[in-house]
A and B are shown apart, each in its own frame.
Chain A
Amino acid sequence: MKNMTKPQVLSTRNKRKIKENLQAYSMLLPNLVLFIAFSIYPCIWTLKFIFYRYSGLASEVPKFIGLDNLMRVFRDDIYWKAARNTFVYAGAKIIIIIPLAFLLALFLSKKRKGNGLLQSVIFVPTIMSAAVMGLVFYLLFNVYNGQINYYLMEWNIIKQPINWLGAKNAMETLVITAIWGGVGNYMVYFIAGLQRISEETLESARIDGANSIQTVWNITLPMLGPILKIILMLSITAAFHDMTNVMVLTEGGPNYSTMVLSLYGYSFFFPVSASSITLPQYGYGAAVSAVSAMIAGIVTVIYLKLSKKLDDVY
């Protein structure tokens, strides 16, 4: 009798477990299928094609070439130019956007009539298409017909029109549009952080005789520390990803002066503009993107290490 019941219990428990698993997977499946198809599969594909030469012609068989693609990345001058541009772009964007966003948050988070509206206005670019606004900026920054040069000359700030999208200034123009598109985003993050600092803390600092600049420097900033770290992290990854504005505004030109890593990788798969026709090089494109992802990863790790050190200082 005893020997009979034990397997019976086990099997009903097993049955319940199987049923639980089936139910869980049936609910997970719709998302899991999308995740496997659009997140996992492309990663595996990329890892494989790093080692192949392949241009996607119908009759072509991908050819295994070992580490040749990776070696070529390290010899590719344009790649390293793009890497430098990416760092310049990301650095300039972050250095300008973070203080601007912080100041906006500081001034607009005070409970005063109208501040909510002003916040919403500053946030508007975040919901707009970087591509469509890239086109609008393309017209605004046009050398001869653009509004920016028109106003600057009308107000006698400049004598000659500035070639905003020329090799000398294109990077600055891109950074300006990136700041336009992102400052509201980071302002909202900062506001969320500021709301976590209690009124009493600030009040007690004031009672102790600290003026507002001292309060911001000694209380608000250190207390924002943890959130500031997240914000910086997000801004670094975002700056490494930005591509749409570059693609629409400058197409990476002139003469690769605004080519960034993400767009450079893309250019081996698809034409960057309607006028550029190049044969795709899928294997090399995979290698380029993998090395770029690695660089972004290394930057992230270094940043995390540094920000940990900052913790120790405080």
Chain B
Amino acid sequence: MKNKIMKTAFSTIVAIFIAVMIVFTVYPILYAVIGSFKTNGELTAGGSFFPEGAWQFGNYFVAFVKAKFIKYTLNSVLISISTMIIAVFTSSLAGYVFARQRFVGKKLIMVLYVGLMFIALGSVTLYPIYSLLMKLGLHKSIVGLILVLTGGQSANVLLVMGFIQSIPKELDEAAIIDGCSPYGIFFRVIRPLIAPIMAVVALFTFRNAWNDYVTTLVMSISMPKLKTLTVAVVQLKYSMNAAAEWHIMLAGASIAIIPILIVYFFANKQFISGLTAGAVKG
């Protein structure tokens, strides 16, 4: 009897704990999305969770047209998708070469790939990268920004390498006997087999590019036309009449977070399993 009471008490505490954590997690997001339909006056007065008056769809019109968010949305889409494609393509080729090919200098290059993951210089690297782009004449082009956001990707390369190493080598050898070149092996044998890990790399690079703030901010200093949604939204904080524009800030924030939420809705399993693939193996 006592045991049973203890058990109910315990599971009640657990349920409350989980409920609190769910509210903690969801509240800021709901605040942003629902708040984007309020008037500025309603927002700054605090008050009810849902809009008291009419839902202000006009906030989005203002954000898209007056704050030029149409342009920034297109930038975000173009930049994130290009970054994703380049990252998947280059990291899977490199991962394959590391896992399967022998070549001069392999040890040295691999040591560099692994070693540089542990040297955390952080944001300092942005300036030399920016000056390098300037020398190459890419600092005012979208190509430069896309390449910087793709970056060295040593983590992705090592992730793909680990995945390929777990594929039996006999498959390659059979293909070699059939007269396949390394390219043939990669595109006909390996690529279909590594689709799951390529999806993980794709999702995470897309997310990182879409969400990136600091790198994109720095690279778009001399070219405000290249701003992405994330950068444009945060910069609303610094605009002249920031105090008066909470509704526009939240509309902007919602425009920035809803697309990634939709991606997550369809691919949450891949996001979650991809995270552990990277952490536990690497």
In the complex, A24→B183 CA distance in Å?
9
Q: Determine whether the beta carbon of A31 is less than 8 Å from that of B91.
A: yes
* Chain B residue contacts of A293, Cβ below 8 A: 119-122
Q: Knowing A21-B104, A290-B121 touch, does A131 contact B234 (C-beta < 8 A)?
A: yes
Q: Determine the interface band of chain A, counting residues with CB < 8 A from chain B.
A: 35 or more
In the complex, A297→B125 CA distance in Å?
17
Q: Determine whether the beta carbon of A25 is less than 8 Å from that of B120.
A: no
In the complex, A122→B29 CA distance in Å?
12
- Chain B nearest CB from A146 CB (Å) reads 8
Answer yes or no: B253 CB below 8 A from chain A CBs: yes
Residue from A132, A136, A243, A300 within 8 A of B211 (CB atoms): A132
Segment of A6-14, A37-45, A71-79, A87-95 engaged in the interface with chain B: A37-45
* Chain B residue contacts of A28, Cβ below 8 A: 93-94, 97-98, 103, 109
CB-CB nearest in chain A for B211? A129
Residue from A20, A269, A292 within 8 A of B127 (CB atoms): A269
Q: Determine which residue in B102, B103, B153, B256 has the highest number of CB atoms from chain A within 10 A of its CB, and name it.
A: B103
In the complex, A312→B148 CA distance in Å?
44
* Chain A residue contacts of B279, Cβ below 8 A: 189, 192, 230-231, 234
Answer yes or no: B73 CB below 8 A from chain A CBs: no
Segment of A113-121, A162-170, A201-209 engaged in the interface with chain B: A113-121
Q: Determine whether the beta carbon of B186 is less than 8 Å from that of A27.
A: yes
- Chain B nearest CB from A287 CB (Å) reads 10
Q: Determine whether the beta carbon of B272 is less than 8 Å from that of A188.
A: yes
Q: Determine whether the beta carbon of A30 is less than 8 Å from that of B89.
A: yes
* Chain B residue contacts of A124, Cβ below 8 A: 25-26, 29, 261, 264
Q: Determine whether the beta carbon of B124 is less than 8 Å from that of A269.
A: yes
In the complex, A135→B213 CA distance in Å?
12
- Chain B nearest CB from A234 CB (Å) reads 6
Q: Determine whether the beta carbon of B150 is less than 8 Å from that of A104.
A: no
Q: Determine whether the beta carbon of A139 is less than 8 Å from that of B214.
A: no
Q: Knowing A20-B103, A34-B150, A188-B275 touch, does A136 contact B97 (C-beta < 8 A)?
A: no
- Chain A nearest CB from B135 CB (Å) reads 11
For B, the interface residue count at a CB cutoff of 8 angstroms equals 94
Answer yes or no: A184 CB below 8 A from chain B CBs: yes
Answer yes or no: B53 CB below 8 A from chain A CBs: no
* Chain B residue contacts of A126, Cβ below 8 A: 271, 275
CB-CB nearest in chain A for B249? A135
A141-160 residues at the B interface, CB under 8 angstroms:
145-147, 149-151, 154
Q: Determine whether the beta carbon of B22 is less than 8 Å from that of A136.
A: no
* Chain B residue contacts of A183, Cβ below 8 A: 21, 25
Answer yes or no: B165 CB below 8 A from chain A CBs: no
Answer yes or no: A240 CB below 8 A from chain B CBs: yes
* Chain A residue contacts of B45, Cβ below 8 A: 145
Q: Determine whether the beta carbon of B268 is less than 8 Å from that of A120.
A: yes
* Chain B residue contacts of A137, Cβ below 8 A: 28
Q: Determine which residue in A39, A145, A269, A290 has the highest number of CB atoms from chain B within 10 A of its CB, and name it.
A: A39
In the complex, A277→B257 CA distance in Å?
30
CB-CB nearest in chain A for B35? A139
Segment of B62-70, B167-175, B235-243 engaged in the interface with chain A: B235-243
Q: Determine whether the beta carbon of B102 is less than 8 Å from that of A41.
A: no
Residue from A107, A234, A248, A290 within 8 A of B14 (CB atoms): A107
Q: Determine whether the beta carbon of A38 is less than 8 Å from that of B123.
A: no
* Chain B residue contacts of A131, Cβ below 8 A: 211, 213-214, 230-231, 233-234
User: B18-38: contact bitstring with A at CB < 8 Å (1 yes, 0 no)?
Assistant: 100110111011011001000
Q: Knowing A34-B150, A145-B45 touch, does A43 contact B29 (C-beta < 8 A)?
A: no
* Chain A residue contacts of B210, Cβ below 8 A: 129
Q: Knowing A27-B97, A30-B90, A42-B124 touch, does A132 contact B221 (C-beta < 8 A)?
A: no
In the complex, A309→B116 CA distance in Å?
27
Answer yes or no: A127 CB below 8 A from chain B CBs: yes
Q: Determine whether the beta carbon of A40 is less than 8 Å from that of B260.
A: no
In the complex, A25→B276 CA distance in Å?
30
In the complex, A128→B182 CA distance in Å?
39
Q: Determine whether the beta carbon of B103 is less than 8 Å from that of A25.
A: yes
B87-121 residues at the A interface, CB under 8 angstroms:
89-91, 93-94, 96-98, 101-104, 109, 112-113, 116, 118-121
| 7 contacting pairs across A/B (C-beta < 8 A) | A38-B151, A41-B132, A129-B210, A134-B234, A188-B276, A262-B123, A265-B124
B residues engaging A (CB < 8 A)?
10, 14, 17-18, 21-22, 24-26, 28-29, 31-32, 35, 43-47, 89-91, 93-94, 96-98, 101-104, 109, 112-113, 116, 118-129, 132, 147-148, 150-154, 157, 181-183, 186, 207, 210-214, 217-218, 221, 230-231, 233-238, 246, 249-250, 253, 256-257, 260-261, 263-264, 268, 271-272, 275-276, 279-280
Q: Which 7 A-B pairs have the closest CB atoms?
A: A150-B46, A39-B152, A131-B213, A42-B125, A129-B211, A31-B94, A45-B128
